[in-house]
Amino acid sequence: MFSASIILKNAREDKELELAEVSKKLKVPLKYLQAIESENRNTYPQEPYCSLIIKDYANFLGLNGDDILSLFRRDFASKTNQKPITAQNINLTPHFAFRVATIASIIIFAVYLTLEYFKFNRPPTLKMSWPENLTNNTLEVSGTTDSESTVRVNDDLVVVDSSGNFRKKIIISVDEQKIVVQSKSPSGQTSIAEKTYRRQ
């Protein structure tokens, strides 16, 4: 039994038609007609375009398009060396590159905003260096915090330098005195450290 490809080719040759002429009249790329007649599956157009071409080609040659298309599908299904399904190659066009760059920029910007939001709203860091002993009932407390924060020691405002360092001398005037250090961020978040000293 003849295949659909052979029937199409024989019908065209009987009419003494060149493939280029058929391609021009049907407005179908020549490479697709050549692939269909030679059963070159690697060059077949994608469906449903392939079926439409075969049906139009058969009708143009005076054949029954539906019958030839059914025969072609039978031939295609009976072959064991069908073209494997592979992932389509990504075309690295300028438009594609622009879209990737735009999406990447949006993601990076969103991550940056998220990190800045959490940084802005978290309590400031506060590390203290508490003196062990009093000297003439006087002590100097020091520590480090975020450079943008404001620091109060027992409600007294303390200067914070550009590196986040601060210090404050305190005179212990009562038998037992609690030292409270509070660091407050621009967003209003606070960190507190405290220690109690006894007068000597």
Q: Could you give the C-alpha distances from 147 to 117, 140, 161, 163, 177, in angstroms and in order?
A: 17, 20, 7, 6, 28
One CATH from 1.10.357.10, 2.60.40.10, 2.40.160.20, 2.60.40.420 for 126-198: 2.60.40.10
Q: What is the mean pLDDT of residues 16-32?
A: 89
For domain 4-78, give the fold.
Answer: 434 Repressor (Amino-terminal Domain) (1.10.260)
Residue type, 132: E
Query: pLDDT (tens digit, 9 = 90+) per residue, 108-128?
Result: 999 999 888 887 778 889 999
3-state per-residue secondary structure call for 26-47: HCCCHHHHHHHHHCCHHHCCCC
Domain ranges in the chain are: 4-78, 94-122, 126-198
DSSP bridge partners of 152: 157, 182
pLDDT bin (cut points 50, 70, 90) of residue 80 is very low
Tokens of 147: 């450079």
